[in-house]
Amino acid sequence: MKVETKCIHEGYKPQNGAPLALPIYQSTTYTYDSTEHIGKLFDLQADGHMYSRISNPTVAYVEEKIAALEGGVAAVCMTSGQTASFLSLFNILGVGDSFLCSSRIYGGTINLFSVTMKRMGIECIYFDDDMSDAEIEALIKSNTKAIFAESLANPALSVLDIRRIADLAHKHGMPLIVDNTFPTPILCRPLEHGADIVIHSTTKYMDGHAVQVGGVVVDGGSFDWAKNGYTCLSEPDESYHGVIYTESFGKAAYATKLRTQLIRDLGTYPPASAAFLLDLGLQSLAVRMEKHSSNALAAAKFLKQHDMIESVSYPGLEGDKYYDLAKKYLPNGSSGVVSLTIKGGKTNAVKFMDALKLAKNVVHVATVHTCVLHPASETHRQLTDEQLLAAGINPGMIRLSVGIENIDDIIEDLKNGLAQCE
């Protein structure tokens, strides 16, 4: 099956007489004929659902679909993208460990990595994508156990050279974890370029309609944990009568540990109803990503030639700093987010935002609706203009998340908004 077909037919496969739509299994628990069978479930020696804090059939179908879309061996859904970022690392790191992370990542992830995980005794060491291999390697310590980065960064809109960073990680015996939220597996599949683990905030394009917060971790099944000394996966887990994940679960060792140990203990599994909504979003993901990408490119081209625009960033736009990497990693489109800087700084940016009629002013991106966000007066409003510039945010910069409306209507709205600034 091609990826568009997988969006609809992977996961739940109804048999003769079964409902066509994915059923919502609204049940906390599952019945078995014998205590012996349940005992085997507890020892991870039999397949089956036991309790909906660990797995649920509706969620499991969606996990199967997402694993198939990314080309992984297994996926584990959870309650948010933040949880996915955290657990993807915490599954293999503990107190006293460190990991490398690209500095071009989502603001919420920076808080999690720099503040909360630091309190847990896990150190995040940032690198810049523009550094040479040698400069990045110089940051690696003896306790460094993973590299984390975003394939298409939010909000920087830089494109990660996945192959280069994956090679670098593997040279040092560690996995590369890629946050693939913005491209989705429709536009980029990091596992095909050497990444080992992929995570998503499904809240964004996968859901696509701004209805449900969620996250997922996908296990690529390619990393050799035992050989590289990840003893948490290759030595007995006492909480399961000494199971050894790499021996009992082979390629799905990482995903199995994540579910049966961390999801079990931390209680971050999503409800069946949330998975149902996510599945609806996934069914139309391929057509939406195509439309988001073509609309965003058209909007970026329109903005680029406009007198009131100081600069536009969109990796699919010829002349963009990341155009060549986008051609390699995002050949079918660069997703729907464009960043633009209006001449006249904050004053004009606010005038423009307030004049827009179609585009919604929200703290969100990646939905069917076109929406805008002005960091200087919203998410980063506590900073002075000097502080904003130091943080790499121009006071006139606006993040435009291009929806799937008719592009003529979107451009008309942008044109009217810009007319208020002159």
Ligand X SMILES: *Cc1c(COP(=O)(O)O)cnc(C)c1O
Site residues (vs ligand X, CB under 6 A): 80-82, 85, 106, 108-109, 150, 154, 179, 181, 201, 203-204, 213, 215
Query: Least CB distance from residue 260 to ligand X, whole Å?
Result: 23
- Whichever of 210 and 232 has its CB closer to ligand X, that residue is 210
Query: Least CB distance from residue 361 to ligand X, whole Å?
Result: 18
Query: Least CB distance from residue 217 to ligand X, whole Å?
Result: 12
Query: Least CB distance from residue 112 to ligand X, whole Å?
Result: 9
Q: Which amino acid is residue 368, in one-letter code? A: V
Query: Least CB distance from residue 95 to ligand X, whole Å?
Result: 24
- Whichever of 8 and 213 has its CB closer to ligand X, that residue is 213
Q: What is the 3-state secondary structure (H, E, C) of 127-175?
A: ECCCCCHHHHHCCCCCCEEEEEEECECCCCCCECCHHHHHHHHHHCCCC
- Whichever of 128 and 235 has its CB closer to ligand X, that residue is 128
- Whichever of 180 and 394 has its CB closer to ligand X, that residue is 180
The dihedral through the CA atoms of 253, 37, 64, 54 has a sign that is negative
- Whichever of 91 and 201 has its CB closer to ligand X, that residue is 201
- Whichever of 205 and 249 has its CB closer to ligand X, that residue is 205
Rounded to an integer, what distance in angstroms lies between the CA atom of residue 112 and that of residue 179?
Answer: 14
Beta-strand (E) ranges in 14-97?
Answer: 74-78
Query: Least CB distance from residue 180 to ligand X, whole Å?
Result: 8
Left, alpha or beta for 319 (phi > 0: left; psi -120 to 50: alpha)?
Answer: left
Q: What one-character-per-residue DSSP string does 183-250 give?
A: THHHH--GGGGT-SEEEEETTTTTT-SS----EEEEE-S---TTTTT-HHHHS-BGGGTTB-HHHHHG
Residue nearest to ligand X (CB): 81
